[in-house]
Amino acid sequence: MSATAKVSAELAAKIERLDALLDSIGARHEQVKFASSLAAEDMLLTHAILSRGVKIGIFSLNTGRLHAETVGMIDRVRERYGYEIEQYHPQQDAVDEYVTQHGLNAFYESIDLRKRCCEIRKVEPLNRALAQVSAWVTGQRREQSVTRAELHEEEQDAARNIAKYNPLADWTESDVWAYLEAFDVPVNPLHARGYPSIGCEPCTRAIRPGEDSRAGRWWWESRDTKECGLHISTIPVVVSSAGVSA
């Protein structure tokens, strides 16, 4: 029995659309990369890309503050798919300056200091990773948080002047886990310990019953500030029968 035979007809249709979209992205862009957090959604996309040989490079941001379990997923991808995920690290001098001026865990003190830490450890490395590409792919979903409720499948990243794709925008959490189970995709062991959304270790906790999937991210802040700066300044792309336009 094939993996797709193990899922519902509705999810099978989503998988077919996902595969077609990834193929289209790989064909439309000479240089395109997928930014993987190594969490559930991104492992789904990793499998969809690598198992089918789609021409989309995969990288991850190694912030220096990740859980050991997250870093360990690099090895699991290598073992399963024979692929080495490219890692981008923060500039050490910027990290040292932040720690010297504010302290190692100053991000707990204010939103500005937290965002500055994210800028150093995540945004600047992301900008380097995307410097030579014409498009990038993410594992974001609308269901994840209020800050992503208006997420579009195709967008224009205005800040970087490149295309941006969110192929799982309309997928539910149950869709994601049904796919992972059907295709026996390796997953971060932290998910089984109550971490549906995984970021840096000091900024992520397990969620409580009834909380939304991103409640454990920057839990000391309000719901509408819970982004790190990676996903900003995007313009929806309208898809019509005549083609794609911003």
pTM of the model: 0.87
> For residue 245, what pLDDT is reported?
35
> For residue 38, what pLDDT is reported?
97
Torsion angles phi and psi, residue 45, rounded to 5: -65, -35
> For residue 165, what pLDDT is reported?
97
> For residue 239, what pLDDT is reported?
41
- Choice among 118, 200, 203, 228 that is catalytic: 228
Does residue 200 carry a catalytic annotation?
Answer: no
CB atoms within 10 A of CB 55: 14
* Choices 3.40.50.2020, 1.10.579.10, 3.40.50.620, 3.40.630.40: CATH for 3-245: 3.40.50.620
> For residue 36, what pLDDT is reported?
97
Low-confidence ranges of the chain (pLDDT < 50): 238-246
Contact 64, 88 (CB under 8 A): no
> For residue 3, what pLDDT is reported?
76
- pLDDT tens, 40-55? 999 999 999 999 999 9
User: Side chain identity at 99, as an amino acid letter?
Assistant: V
User: Which residues are CB-neighbours of 136 under 8 A, at least 6 positions away?
Assistant: 32, 33, 34, 35, 130, 157, 162, 163, 164, 165
> For residue 246, what pLDDT is reported?
31
CB atoms within 10 A of CB 23: 15
Each domain of the chain, given as residue ranges in start order, spans 3-245
- For the chain, the residue count is 246
Q: Is the dihedral of CA 143, 146, 148, 149 positive or negative?
A: positive
